[in-house]
Structure 1
Amino acid sequence: MQYAQLGRTGATVSRLVLGTMNFGPHTSEEDSFAIMDRALEQGVTFVDTANVYGGKDHRGRTEEIVGRWLARTGKRDEIVLATKVFGEMGPGKNDRGLSALNIRRAVDASLRRLQTDHIDLYQMHHVDRSAPWEEIWQAMDLLVAQGKISYVGSSNFAGWHIAQANETASRRGSLRLVSEQSLYNLLSRSIELEVLPAAEHYGLGVIPWSPLSGGKLGGRREDGVRRRAADRRHDPADLTEQLERWETFCEERDLTPGQAALAWLLHRPGVLGPIIGPRTMEQLDSAIEAVDIVLSEEDLAALDEIFPGPGGPAPEAYAW
């Protein structure tokens, strides 16, 4: 396993992040425990969840599964634990968002479900346009002072949201954001325009989610059928030629598509580590092997031809 600093902090985390969104809805508690055991054995020390994970009718279930695993193993101090706040958790008007009121309630609820007294990385799952940044940071600073959280991260922020959040935090003397969790993969490279430059400027570690684009970059199944995902950010009908070139690229280098997609992200400047969300032990083992894959400059150039990015950071990418 490879390790890196969590943004500009002194904390060290694994460069693969164990995502837990499938735990509960798609993976049984017993299998989830086994996956977390194996991940830790293989050196994956960064575990990511969210208060809303668990399925539409059982939000919070995933945190509960992680909490029972922590209680069973007694290995809380061996991992860096991350969760998120924003999503709707109840019928009340204040049961969602980033108001100080909801942040206070949500963190206490997450701590109970996770069976721990602190969260290492508390992430804003989305921008709350109705909550002033001063209010958000007042609430987060209080949680840090109380020892309930160590660091604050963001997720799904635009570059200017990262700037707003950090400039407000600086005026307050707060530590500021330390990470940004964004959609990023070979098919979705728009964060290269502004999010990656903003993250680099402010010292945030970037944590890509959906590294396989919902499965589309995972190659063909054993029956020869190309995987189709529920993710409709790209129309699969428009990707046939591109994905065929991708699969040929992987075959010529004796790489599995899923591993190659993860390896590409691990080679990207500013990327801390992608989130892997295994449903099975086999998927976990395959993902962990991606850490050892080395892509040459020629390989990276070939991938840029197959999956062109925006061409660089803004504004040069579209202005000159």
Structure 2
Amino acid sequence: MHYTNLGRSGLKVSRLCLGTMNFGWQLGEDDSHAILDRAMHNGITFVDTADMYGARDYEGTSESYIGSWFAKTGRRDEVVLATKVYQPMGEGPNDRGLSARHIVAACEASLRRLGTDRIDLYQMHHVDRATPWEEIWQAMDVLVAQGKVVYVGSSNFAGWHLAGAQAAAMRRHSLGLVSEQLKYSLLTRAVELEVVPAAQALGIGLLPWSPLAQGLLSGALRKHRDAAAGRTMTHAAARVAEHRHVLEVYEAFCEDLGVHPATVALAWLLARPGVTAPIVGPRTPEQLDHALEALATTLTDDAEERLNAIFPPVGNGGPGPEAWAW
């Protein structure tokens, strides 16, 4: 396993992050613990969740499964633990968003479910246009001062949101954001226009979610041909049909390369500027193994050119305004 700094911070994280969105929704507690065991055995010490993952009636099941694994194994201090706040966690009007009230209440609830005294990376799950940055940072600063939160990150922000958040943090002499969790893959490259360059300029590490485009980049056509069970068969059949032509070319390219499609997609992301750690959410040990193989896979310049031809960047490629102007 390789480790790197999370953005401009001094925190070291594994170059793959274990995503736990499947915990509770698709995996029971024992299977979730098995995935955590296998990830830790292979050096993946960066674990990402959210208060609403696996939730049944706002129970925060994913966090609870991680908490029970900590209690069983005693390995809390080995893990860089990330969770999120923003999504509804109750029926009330203040049980969601990024008000100071909800941030503090949600943090306390996450700590209880996780069975820990601190969250290493507390991420805003979405931008809250109704709450001023000064209020958000006041709440985060209090949690940091209390030792309940160590670092703060964001998710699904636009480039100008990153800039606005950092400007507000600087006015308070706060560290501000150290990471941005963004939808980024070979199939989803719009973030290269402004989010990626903004994050690089501000020293914010990038944590791509859905790096396999909801399974489309993990051999989806082969799975259909083999009638394999899983999300691609049930949830994304329409998306497979929509992208069939490009997936045919991609999977043929991976076959020529002799590398599993999921491994190629992750290896490509690992080599992107500013990327700290793609977030992988395996449902089986085999899926985790394909992700781990990406760490030892280096794509040649020719392979990258072929991938750019299969999955063209937006506009002229790279950051704006050059991507869309002269």
Correspondence for 2:174 = 174
Kept after mapping to 2: 8 A contact 1:17/1:48: yes
Deviations 1:41-97 (Å, cap 9, x if unpaired)?
100010000000014535401100000001111111101000000000001110000
So what's the TM-score if we normalise by structure 2?
A: 0.95
How far is the alpha carbon of 1:98 from its aligned partner?
0.2
Kept after mapping to 1: 8 A contact 2:58/2:89: no
Written as runs of structure 1 = structure 2, the 5 A alignment for 1:1-320 is 1-219=1-219, 220-221=222-223, 223-224=225-226, 227-228=232-233, 230=235, 235-310=239-314, 311-320=317-326
Structure 2: gaps of 5 or more residues: none
How far is the alpha carbon of 1:236 from its aligned partner?
3.5
CA distance in 1, matches of 2:289, 2:308: 27
RMSD: 1.5
**Number of aligned residue pairs:** 319
How far is the alpha carbon of 1:120 from its aligned partner?
0.2
Kept after mapping to 2: 8 A contact 1:216/1:228: no
How far is the alpha carbon of 1:229 from its aligned partner?
6.7
Sequence identity of aligned pairs in percent?
59
Deviations 1:272-292 (Å, cap 9, x if unpaired)?
111000111221122112111
CA distance in 2, matches of 1:274, 1:21: 14
CA distance in 2, matches of 1:101, 1:222: 47
CA distance in 2, matches of 1:164, 1:248: 43
Q: Which amino acid is 2:200 matched to? A: E
Kept after mapping to 1: 8 A contact 2:58/2:90: no
Deviations 1:161-196 (Å, cap 9, x if unpaired)?
000000000011000100000000000000000000
So what's the TM-score if we normalise by structure 1?
A: 0.96
Kept after mapping to 2: 8 A contact 1:216/1:229: no
